[in-house]
Amino acid sequence: MKRPNIVILGAGYGGMITTVRLQKMLGANEANVTLVNKHNYHYQTTWLHENAAGTLHHDKTRMKISDVVDTNKINFVQDTVLSINSDEKKVKLENGDLEYDYLVVGLGFEAATFGISGLKENAFTISNINSARMIREHIEYNFAKYNNEKEERQDRLNIVVGGAGFTGIEFVGELANRVPELCEEYDIPREKVRIMNVEASPSVLPGFDEELVEYAMNLLEGKGVEFKTGTMIKEVHEDKILVEKDEQQEEIPTNTVVWAAGVRGNSIVEEAGFETARGRVKVSDTLLAPGHDDVFIVGDCALIMNEENDRPYPPTAQIAMQEAENVAHNLKVLVRGGSDLEPFEPHLKGTVASLGEGQAIGVVGDKKLFGWTASVMKKVIDNRYLFMLGGVGLLLKKGKFNIFTK
C-alpha cells in the first residue's frame, strides 16, 4: 500500500506540535511527513513583544527546526507557501509543488487593519522575528537620531501602540522597561519620551477581570504609559497620526506606530477557497475545513466557536497546541485505516499577560494572579511549552528561569 503524504504548512505552535507528535506516534513506514516553513527556525510568537521592545534578544525566542524535529523521520522543506489547490491536492511553493493526501494548515495570523488610512503603509506589526527586529532597531535609531539634529523632533520620541488587547498591553509593559534604558544610553530625559496606548474600547484588556485591569493600568501608568481609551486611530502618516475621541480629533506627532489591535488568519486560506469568517476557517468539530475530509486547520487560521457564549474562542497559542495534539491523533487514526475521529474540545487553563519584567496579571483556573506570582506563572507556562516541544534539552537551552526578578 502507498504511504500517505502528510504535509504540514507552517512551523508555529500548531505546525510544530503536530509534527513532533506525528514523529513520535507514527512508524517510519506508515506515512511520509513533510513540514514546510518560510524559515529554517521556529519562533515563540508569544515572546515577540519582548524582542520588539528590545528586552529579550530574538535568538532566545527562535530555535532551529532541525534541532527540534528529527529530519531523518520528517522531511523539512524551507520554502514559502504561495497557494493551496484542494481540488488537485497540491500546495504551490515558491520553489516547487507538493502533493498531499492529508494537509495540515498552520500558517498563523496576519494583522487586520480594518481599512484605516495609511496604517498598512506606515505602521509596524509584531508578527514575526523580522518585524520584531525591525521595530527594535527603528525605536533605537530614532533615539540615536534625536540628539543629532538641529531641530528637536518630538515624533522621534513618541511611541504609539494601537490596541490594548493582550499583545498591545504586553508590548507597552516591555517598552516601559526599555525606554528608561534607552534614555540613559542616548542622553534623553525620560520625560521627553511618550509611550501612548490607543484603544477604541472604553477600557483596556476588554473581557479581562476588572480588578486585574485596574492593577495593570495603575502599574503601567506608574511607569509612564499614557492610555487613550475610547479613542479611534483614524489616519496614520509617516510622522503623525490622527485620533478621534467623542468626535474631537487630535494629531499626534510620531513616526513609530505599532499596530496590535487585531489579527485574522493568513490570507492564503481565504484565497484557497475555504469557507472563512473574519479570515479564519470555521472548522468542523474534528478541525477539518468545511467540505473537506483531508484538510485540517490549526491555530490562528482556524475559527472555533465557544458554544457557551456563541462567540469564537480567541486565537491563542494554548488553543493552537491543543488543536495540534487532536489533529496528530486523528491523522494517526486515518493513516491506520480508521475513521473514528476524535472531536476537539478546548481545555482552557487560564490566561496570563505579562506587564514587563517581574510583573503580570492573569487567571489560572478560578484564581486571579497579580504581580510577581503571575509573572512566575507566565514563565512556568512558557517553560512547559518548551518541554512539550523538545524535552529537557530544549527547556534548559531556551527556558526562562529568572523567577526571582521582582
Confirm or reject binding of residue 259 to ligand FAD (CB under 6 A).
no
Query: Measuring CA to CA, which residue among 331, 339, 340, 328 is closest to residue 3?
Result: 331
Confirm or reject binding of residue 344 to ligand FAD (CB under 6 A).
no
Q: Assess contact for 108 and 10: CB atoms under 8 A.
A: yes
Q: Look up cell 511520509; give the residue.
A: 32
Instruction: Using DSSP, state whether 289 is helix, strand or coil.
Output: coil
Query: Of 36 and 281, which CB lies nearer to ligand FAD in the complex structure?
Result: 36
Query: Of 236 and 281, which CB lies nearer to ligand FAD in the complex structure?
Result: 281
DSSP states along 14-48:
HHHHHHHHHHHHS-TTT-EEEEEESSSEEE-GGGH
CB of 309 to ligand FAD, least distance (A): 18
* Window 280-319: residues binding ligand FAD (CB under 6 A): 299-300, 315-318
Confirm or reject binding of residue 85 to ligand FAD (CB under 6 A).
no
Contacting residue, 48, 111, 261, 386, with ligand FAD by CB under 6 A: 48
Confirm or reject binding of residue 167 to ligand FAD (CB under 6 A).
yes
210's grid cell: 476588572
Q: Which of 170, 174, 199, 323 is catalytic?
A: 170
List residues bridging with 232 in a β-sheet: 244
CB of 166 to ligand FAD, least distance (A): 6
Confirm or reject binding of residue 361 to ligand FAD (CB under 6 A).
no
Label residues 274-305 b or e (16+ Cβ within 10 Å = b).
bebeebbbbbbeebbbeebeebbbbbbbbbbe
* Window 104-163: residues binding ligand FAD (CB under 6 A): 106-109, 126, 128
CB of 398 to ligand FAD, least distance (A): 15
Confirm or reject binding of residue 22 to ligand FAD (CB under 6 A).
no
Confirm or reject binding of residue 266 to ligand FAD (CB under 6 A).
yes
Confirm or reject binding of residue 276 to ligand FAD (CB under 6 A).
no
Size of the site for ligand FAD (CB under 6 A): 34
Single out the segment in contact with ligand FAD by CB under 6 A; choices: 112-120, 165-173, 238-246, 288-296.
165-173
Contacting residue, 102, 166, 215, 259, with ligand FAD by CB under 6 A: 166
* Residue 170 annotated as catalytic: yes
> Largest Cα–Cα distance in the chain?
75
Confirm or reject binding of residue 320 to ligand FAD (CB under 6 A).
yes
Contacting residue, 18, 19, 34, 45, with ligand FAD by CB under 6 A: 45
Query: Measuring CA to CA, which residue among 71, 73, 91 is closest to residue 32?
Result: 73
CA distance 146 to 153: 7
CA distances from 334 to 22, 290, 328, 342 (A): 12, 18, 10, 11
194's grid cell: 511618550
Query: Measuring CA to CA, which residue among 139, 152, 251 is closest to residue 192?
Result: 152
Confirm or reject binding of residue 398 to ligand FAD (CB under 6 A).
no
Q: Please give the residue ranges that form the binding site for ligand FAD (CB under 6 A).
A: 10-15, 36-39, 45-46, 48-49, 80-81, 106-109, 126, 128, 166-167, 170, 266, 268, 299-300, 315-318, 320
Which residues have a catalytic role annotated? Answer: 170
